[in-house]
A and B are shown apart, each in its own frame.
Chain A
């Protein structure tokens, strides 16, 4: 009986904590939207974040996209050539890079490169009272730190996902045509037939939503960090794990929703 009471008590506490965190997360999103509509965004801070998130992430995103496209093409060619389907390698690489792998890969790379850095930076500022100092100087940490990162991430994620997908297709072409000797025309010709604007829309929408998830989860974990250096480490790990999990889950939901709406709008 005692264990049961303890179990229910713990469950209630955990549920209360979870609800409190969900409430704080919603409050963070609403604060960012409020600041955005009050035009509190500093252009110089946004430019700095666009450079850090966009330009500095570009080599990583291109490299990983290229490598994944190469592997995809190598596997596709190897698996399909003996069945006489090698000509579909191009369309397979392009479609999967654009619709699924490009946005996912980009968001995973940015979780590690940007999300973890945001949590660690804001978290260490929080534990060393720098956020409080900022507030006492009349500067809102939300305006100074959170808003520019959120806007920059929203703007750069779709661009980076397109770069990742494009470099994946180029990587696939390199392997299929330059390594396995496939004809370039055979590789590229079916792509415009089967890849339509809806795939590009799916790429943009998914990467945009993943970007929002990364930046909000990262800022939230940084702003509400507890404890010293260990707390910052824990918050950073938590941010990365939570980002990966929510990205994968939301990707499934988005895929189902996008496919359903495609069927609804255009039929099969």
Chain B
């Protein structure tokens, strides 16, 4: 279980997270929906230990992320992985070297995996994301979708139990988006991982989500399972769902009221 309690964060005196509190259920995929710029990625950066909060606490497996020693935090975070919107592959390394990097440097992988197993694990990771034979390609030689899949391979190779995804399908065509969604769902099932996915993609959310949270103005305004979440009457959530599912020019045709 991951729990966020009363989290505050400001950048240049502009508050982004305003006392956010939320719980993410274990071994399930939680979808965080919200408009651009409300601080969804900032929340993920806090969960992954990249960005420290101004105040508030994050509990992972019962331990306070910012209330423990740096060595303990390192241990806790080594069981976590994050897929970035930009993929964030190391562009001076080949795809195989990118994957080997996480095996060689992640403290959890160092404990679990011997160096002679690297080649087999890299092969397996690339096959599982559909990039077999891409070992010696550089990130610049791949398309956006392939880069996202390579980044996913780098993530799953050390089998973390918590996976964070920052807009994994943004900028991809619907077919590639669906492939990425399927990969995320498959990864969650095979690793029995706790996944947190930040997205605007309602189709992706419906495909892979078990639990949903709506982030607005620096707080989680509503959360719940699929049924209760999509029936929630929060006006901004309803508006976002309408905009995402039906283009506004079709609203009069379909007799949808703008403020319904």
Contact = CB atoms under 8 A, between A and B. Distances in A.
Contacts of A189: none
A61 B101 CA distance: 34
Interface residues of B, number: 26
Contact of A137 (B45, B86, B101, B164): B101
A136 B91 contact: no
Contacts of A134: 90
B82 A133 contact: yes
A138 interface: yes
Interface residues of A, number: 13
Interface string B58-94: 0000000000000000100110111011101111000
Interface stretch (B102-110, B219-227, B231-239): B102-110
Given A136-B82, A138-B107, A138-B108, A129 B74 contact: no
A129 B105 contact: no
Contacts of A132: 45, 48, 50, 82, 84, 88
A130 interface: yes
Contacts of B85: 129
B227 to A, nearest CB: 33
A37 to B, nearest CB: 15
Interface in B142-157: 151, 154
A128 B81 CA distance: 17
Contacts of A130: 88-91
B77 A133 contact: no
Interface string A121-147: 000010011101111111100001000
B81 A129 contact: no
B130 interface: no
B101 A138 contact: no
Contact of B49 (A128, A129, A135): A135
A136 B151 CA distance: 12
Contacts of A135: 48-50
Contact of B88 (A133, A138, A144): A133
B81 to A, nearest CB: 6
A84 to B, nearest CB: 59
Nearest to A128: B86
Given A133-B82, A138-B77, 16 more contacts: A128-B86, A129-B86, A132-B45, A132-B48, A132-B50, A132-B82, A133-B90, A133-B151, A135-B50, A136-B80, A136-B82, A138-B78, A138-B106, A138-B107, A138-B108, A144-B105
Interface of B: 45, 48-50, 74, 77-78, 80-82, 84-86, 88-91, 101-102, 105-108, 151, 154, 164
Interface of A: 125, 128-130, 132-139, 144
